[in-house]
């Protein structure tokens, strides 16, 4: 909420990239935030020139938060369990950690506490799913102002044909996939779409509407028969096996 040129402190802190709004409220409640030298209260309104200071204890708490990269298999939902399907977070345990993970972190049950998916990946899709305790990471990936690239490899069919689809697919329809489609009453942002081989397309999107790629393909007569996310920002899925996970390293960033 904005009042006379001011905004709530938690929103201002999130906008500055200090933390998520939820974290901000937690820190404020604990007395870890000062505004212009005074201990802040929950709901405080601040202007752009306010001096915000955060206690080092909050920084220590934030430094202990983990971000996990999972190669989600088919059959798991990204978030909460639904329609009898299990959430991807149940795959996060010591046994399913990738043996080639180079992180120095030792898995602890506390690393699952507050872990949430930063973006969706459909139940019938596979590939890179980010689960994080860090609100800054979540905002970077799925915030309303996010421009993070997501890359997918998409196997498609056309009119019941599963081979050499590229030769049968009109160039004008490929152009529509790149820019010109409307979903949920809104024009989609321009996308990078090109053929990887005669049966597989590479998509790079800047947004993530529900089942977006499948719906885009339907609009141009294509049927998706396989979809895998291989990159988010600068972080690649790489050789991470299906159903296994690793920690985001300190030297990595999206």
Domain harbouring 122, CATH code:
3.30.70.580
Q: Indicate whether 21 and 56 sit together in one domain.
A: yes
Does 216 map to a domain? yes
State which of 63, 80, 109 marks the end of a domain.
Answer: 63
For residues 6 and 108, state if they share a domain: no
pTM assigned to the model? 0.81
pLDDT in tens, 137-184: 888 898 777 889 999 999 999 998 889 999 999 999 999 999 999 999
Residue 254 belongs to some domain of the structure: no
Q: What does the mean pLDDT of the chain come to?
A: 91
159 classed as catalytic: no
Residues 169, 228, single domain; the answer is yes
State the pLDDT at residue 16. Answer: 84
Domain housing 202: 150-232
Question: Which of 38-47, 78-87, 132-141 has the least mean pLDDT?
Answer: 78-87
Residues 6+ apart with CB under 8 A from 218: none
25, 26, 122, 134: which is the annotated catalytic residue? 122
Q: Are 188 and 204 in contact (CB under 8 A)?
A: no
Buried b (16+ CB within 10 A) or exposed e, 47-66: eeeeebebeeebeebbeebb
Q: Residue 85's pLDDT band (boundaries 50, 70, 90)?
A: confident
Residue 19 has a pLDDT of 80
pLDDT tens digits, 196-253: 999 999 999 998 888 999 999 999 999 999 999 999 999 999 999 999 999 999 889 8
Give the count of domains, the chain.
Answer: 3
Beta strands at 235-236 and 182-183: parallel, antiparallel or unpaired: unpaired
Q: How many CA atoms lie within 13 A of 37 on its CB side?
A: 0
The Cα 13–Cα 36 span in angstroms is 14
pLDDT at residue 5, as a whole number: 82
Choose the final residue of a domain: 47, 63, 79.
63
Distances (CA, A) of 69 to 2, 129, 229, 236, 243: 36, 6, 12, 10, 11
Residue 32 belongs to domain with CATH number: 3.10.290.10
> 82 and 51 in one domain?
no
């Amino acid at each position: 909420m904005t009042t006379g040129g001011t905004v709530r402190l938690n929103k201002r802190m999130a906008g500055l990239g200090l933390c998520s709004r939820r974290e901000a409220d937690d820190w404020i409640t604990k007395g870890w935030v000062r505004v212009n030298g005074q201990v802040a209260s929950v709901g405080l309104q601040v202007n752009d020139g306010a001096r915000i200071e955060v206690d080092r204890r909050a920084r220590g708490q934030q430094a202990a938060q983990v971000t996990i990269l999972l190669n989600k298999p088919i059959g798991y939902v990204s978030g909460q369990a639904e329609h009898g399907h299990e959430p991807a977070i149940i795959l996060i345990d010591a046994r399913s950690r990738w043996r080639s993970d180079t992180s120095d972190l030792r898995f602890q049950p506390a690393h699952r506490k507050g872990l949430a998916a930063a973006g969706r990946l459909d139940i019938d899709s596979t590939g890179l799913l980010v689960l994080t305790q860090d609100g800054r990471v979540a905002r970077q990936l799925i915030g309303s102002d996010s421009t993070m690239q997501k890359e997918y490899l998409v196997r498609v069919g056309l009119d019941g044909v599963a081979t050499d689809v590229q030769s049968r697919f009109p160039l004008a329809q490929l152009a529509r996939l790149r820019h010109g489609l409307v979903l949920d009453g809104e024009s989609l942002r321009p996308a990078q779409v090109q053929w990887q081989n005669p049966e597989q397309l590479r998509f790079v999107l800047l947004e993530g509407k529900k089942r977006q790629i499948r719906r885009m393909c339907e609009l141009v007569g294509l049927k998706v028969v396989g979809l895998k996310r291989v990159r988010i920002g600068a972080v690649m899925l790489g050789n991470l096996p299906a159903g296994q996970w690793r920690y985001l390293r300190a030297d990595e960033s999206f």
